[in-house]
Structure 1
Amino acid sequence: MVDPTTRRPEAPQTPAEERLSAEGSAPERAPARAAVAAAPDPGLPLRRNAALVPTDSAASRSLAAVIAILTFLAGLCAGTAEMVATSAGQWQGSVAREVTIQVRPGPGRDIEADLAKAQGIAKAEPGIAEARTFSKAEAERLLEPWLGSGLDLSDLPVPRLITLKLGTPTPDLKHLRASLTEALPGVASLDDHVLWLQRLSTMANTFVGVGIGIVALVLVATGLAVAFATRGAMAGNKEVVEVLHFVGADDDFIARAFQRRFFGLGLRGGAIGAGSALLAFALAGLLSRAWRSGPAGDEIEALFGAFSVGWRGYASVLAIGVIASLVTGVVSRLTVRRFLA
């Protein structure tokens, strides 16, 4: 039978309990002792314990959904900008391979003879692969978008056009323009579409610049959302952070823990958003191919081509998903370090 007056030997105290013994009275140490009891054993690796920021909570799922939505919108902007840039490049390539000779009718002149003379001069120029003269009916149809159809334009001095396809070697357009001016002064003129190409290039570059700006703003919005979510998580886990500090965890360890959790959320949201954007472009391509057989097919193909973003568009969408994940991890780490400072 054990003598009740005999004191049992006490278990050795942990370093945290030794620090508590040296600080204040028992009533003052009670909350800290409760925190130490709930804290993980400092003798074990902290990373094996429960996560500081649970990824399955409602707040975490909401943040992942916000990141997915923002990544989806950024992916749409990037893919659309790439599609417009590709279409503009195709338009520029097609237009740059052609030049136009305009022959104006005049009183007392034979317009057909002037057309034949201008076409002969063009064909004699090295580098002109093909010359095609528009008929009077074709020239009048070009005016229908502005004047409407069903009008009698026989009494109007409608200019006639000759389209020239450029071959190799590249023809000397300055020499051709001088030859036309010398042979048909005030009648024939050469248009190399340089002004139109400049405007098209400016429009495409502006659209691409706007798309890049929107993507940057979306990524900034993602960073702000992550910063607010991180501060909320830090405030909600303030007691746990204090206990981790008490048992010897440094700021780097805590920041890495938050960074890993938020990077996982960003990776999940970025993958969902980027995948949704790629799926949207794939569906749009299928619909455009289906509509192409309809009455509006020519207009859709003229504006968007085959509605394909190409490999660069798909790569940019995937890159945005990765960047969103990296932004999430970096912003969360910086926010934690600033909060702990």
Structure 2
Amino acid sequence: MSTAFSKINTTKSSHNTFATNIFDEDVIQNIRNNNFKIRYWSYIIIFKKHGYTCYAKIPKCHSMSSDILHDISDEENQLIASNEIDCLIELNEMFGDAPSELRVVELLGYSQKFNCIITKEFEGESLYDKSTKESPEYLGNYYSAVGKWLNYFHGCKIANDCDKIIFYNDERALFENLLEWLSMYCEDLYLTLNKILPQFLSQNKQQIGDLCVYTLSGFELRNFLINNDGSVCFLDPTEIVRGSQMDDIARFVVSIDMIPWGHLDAYIGKDYNNLKETFLMSYFGNEYESINKILALYAIKWLLIRWRETCSLLDGGKVFKLIRPVVAKYYSDYLFKRWIRMYLSELI
């Protein structure tokens, strides 16, 4: 490794260890030249330095914002960056002893001046992009590796201090909040879910409480890159928080369902069950079918969360590429209802 990075490429418990100004000139030049990409939750700058391709990320808490200079100085965005750096440091330490095919993006530094997280670009393809183009039978090894990746993480990060009763009550409150939103947005589906979910939660109180672990709020399909050697690399942890084991699993499964999201061919309802089964088999082994009902519960949870987020984006004027605004609401509602009913059939 270049000596230019030797000071900051050390694994410590504080993100201050990674603070550096050696990337500042590269960042500001790209900003001045408008050479950055605006995404929902970040600005992305890619540049070369000392033989490395560097991937610089400036987080933003408001998806519709495009004022990069304002977002750099925003205190909430600085907190987001701080949390993400702490997560990356912990994951880099954790996966230092993992099997070689299970990777985490390498943290190079943090620019305090520009609230910018700099990582070394992983040479590979997006698993999401690959999944939109390739037949599922060619992707099994990668989805299996993702299952092993998550299993390794959960094995390292155990929530021994979790109060199971409090955790269950918090989970139930979140479901109640989602159902309350649904009651005002889609009454017919609310009436169906409200007959089933509260009863299922009560009947499975102990099992839900036992699922308390530490989770990765960014664990989904779009945050994995794949390499020809069979390795997978996790990019964007966002934050490590206490939650349900099923949160990570269901969030990833739902992200598989949403592979065609934003395109008209999503109406076709392409079958991605093989990819989901490969991921689940890799994580759980042969016992994965025993968790179908609890997985369905959490898949519904994450579909409701994504649906509510989508409605908020639509209300803010964000529409999907290739879809006229008048169609976007129908498109979104149709797909989320279909996906929720698919998992609801597992609970009935």
Same fold (TM over 0.5): no
Relative contact order higher in (CA < 8 Å, ≥ 6 apart) = 1
TM-score by length of 2: 0.25
TM-score of the pair, normalised by structure 1: 0.25
Which structure has the greater CA radius of gyration?
A: 1
